[in-house]
Amino acid sequence: MVQKRPLGMAVNRSASAEKLEMIERLLEPLEADVIDVYFNKVNSSFPLLDETSFRRQFLENKDRISPALLACLYAHSMTFWESSPVLCRHRCPDKRFIWNLANEATYSELHVSPGMSIIEAILLNVGGRPTTSLIGNGVLLGSAVAMAHSLGLHHNPIPWEIPDSEKFLRMKIWWALWVHDKWTSLAHGTPPHISRTQFNVPKPTLGHLCQPDSTADKKQKASVFVALVGLTEVLDLTLRRIYHFEPGEPRNTTHLELALNNWVDSLDDEIRRIIIRGTNLEVPGAANLRLTYLTVRLLLERIKLEADKQLYDAEDNRLLNRYLQARRTSEEMLILTQELQPAQLTDFWLPSCAFAFPATVSFLLRCALETENSPAGLAQSSSLRIASNLISALRSHKEKNSWDLGDICLAQHAEIVEKVLAMVPTDDLGLDGSLDLQDFIMPDVSVIDQFFPSLWDPLQSAW
């Protein structure tokens, strides 16, 4: 009988498998090198897959790997194409086209055969860069949380009579889901899906992530991830405060500050240097950890500032001190961004970190407009200077190293920062600086909201 299909075409292939085949045709013969990039750059800093078992199955029985999982792994790794000594010698395929194929494979498999693999695929999808679909990511993440609960991933598997490899895999998936849920909540300005009182999965330890004979380098990377999960617990406490709408509740923030300080004290010396001094950033994942720490610190400062605004007058020294403390944290974020080297820019970053920059710039401009009441004061405002320098640093990283984490901030805020700077008169001021600031900038600070959609500033939208 004559075959109706061309040679090499499988019969009854799923839609997700067809999308994967298209991706692999674009990548061949470099698929193995793309997988190497994923495990070297991403999985080592944010463990989700078991490298040994995945590589063995990829070589021996590739058809048993979820097509959606493999498609999202390929798409996720595209960000690091130029950092690979092998891949950089070849032309990089169209990243957006590959991401679109991976998305189609994910939605198809989510509908047809949801399971553990599709949760991993969704986590790779949501954790991919650059971030271009907030609603799509939110839908996928909510689906992953629902499936995780259905499959019992929120239960502690340690006492179960299953292989240790399966126990650790289940816990890795849950930790990754927990981290993405909280940081996506902060980035998107939406309440998180997971409640801390509804799961009993133990916190990650080096024993869960490393073998006894693991190298010091691998243990160091695992320590950074353990610290990130601990910091996410502090963020969770803060998110409960932001999204708690019960009237009459106490607004004290002492327990939030104590939680952050206790977390810092619990770290070992090497990780503490990353957090407190901003050193050792050459450790994979360290720069991401430092930025997330500063993001949580600035969030706490802003919460305290908003609470004090309801208690004190604008000229009260206690309120002015709050502004200074928050601005100092913003400046630390600026210094970190300016000092990032190409090795750190091509390292692992949570995609939700991209939203820390627009929120910071928005806050700095509010500080400048709320605390200065003369053109001379605004012209010399430290807040405005920090915002402008942060925009410049992000633009420089974009132009020199194609760093995408600054794209949202540049698109949403670069123009308005330039407009505010252009509105500030520097040459026509009188000696006494007595010109009315209202002649040069918006008459009401609230007018600036038209330039800053609440989507980019979760605290403003949720408060």
Both tokens assigned to 136: 């799509």
Instruction: Indicate whether 302 pLDDT > 60.
Output: yes
Please tell me the predicted confidence (pLDDT) of residue 10: 57
Instruction: Indicate whether 435 pLDDT > 70.
Output: no
Percent of the chain with pLDDT over 90: 65
User: In sequence order, which ranges of 127-163 are alpha helices (DSSP H)?
Assistant: 134-150
DSSP labels, 179-217: HHHHHHHHHHT---S--GGG--PPPP-HHHHS-TT--HH
Rounded Cα–Cα distance for residues 455 and 355 (Å)? 10
Which amino acid type is present at position 228? L
| Predicted confidence band of residue 280 (pLDDT cuts 50, 70, 90) | confident
Q: How many CB atoms lie within 10 A of CB 271?
A: 22
Q: pTM for this structure?
A: 0.89
Rounded Cα–Cα distance for residues 70 and 124 (Å)? 10
| Predicted confidence band of residue 418 (pLDDT cuts 50, 70, 90) | confident
Which single residue is written with the structure tokens 């330890």? Answer: 205
Rounded Cα–Cα distance for residues 430 and 259 (Å)? 49
Whole-angstrom Cα Rg for the chain = 24
Considering only 59-68, 127-136, 175-184, 190-199, which range has the smallest mean pLDDT?
A: 127-136
Rounded Cα–Cα distance for residues 307 and 193 (Å)? 26
Rounded to an integer, the average pLDDT of 273-279 is 89
Instruction: Indicate whether 111 pLDDT > 80.
Output: yes
Both tokens assigned to 16: 């997700």
Instruction: Indicate whether 392 pLDDT > 90.
Output: yes
Q: What is the pLDDT of residues 208-246, one digit of tens each?
A: 898 888 888 899 999 999 999 999 999 999 999 888 776
Please tell me the predicted confidence (pLDDT) of residue 452: 43
Average pLDDT of the chain is 86
Please tell me the predicted confidence (pLDDT) of residue 11: 54
Both tokens assigned to 80: 């690091």
Please tell me the predicted confidence (pLDDT) of residue 46: 95
Which single residue is written with the structure tokens 């939406």? Answer: 190
Instruction: Indicate whether 445 pLDDT > 50.
Output: no
Rounded to an integer, the average pLDDT of 48-62 is 92
Instruction: Indicate whether 461 pLDDT > 70.
Output: no
| Predicted confidence band of residue 65 (pLDDT cuts 50, 70, 90) | very high
Percent of the chain with pLDDT over 70: 86
Both tokens assigned to 384: 């405005």
Both tokens assigned to 158: 């340690």
Instruction: Indicate whether 122 pLDDT > 70.
Output: yes
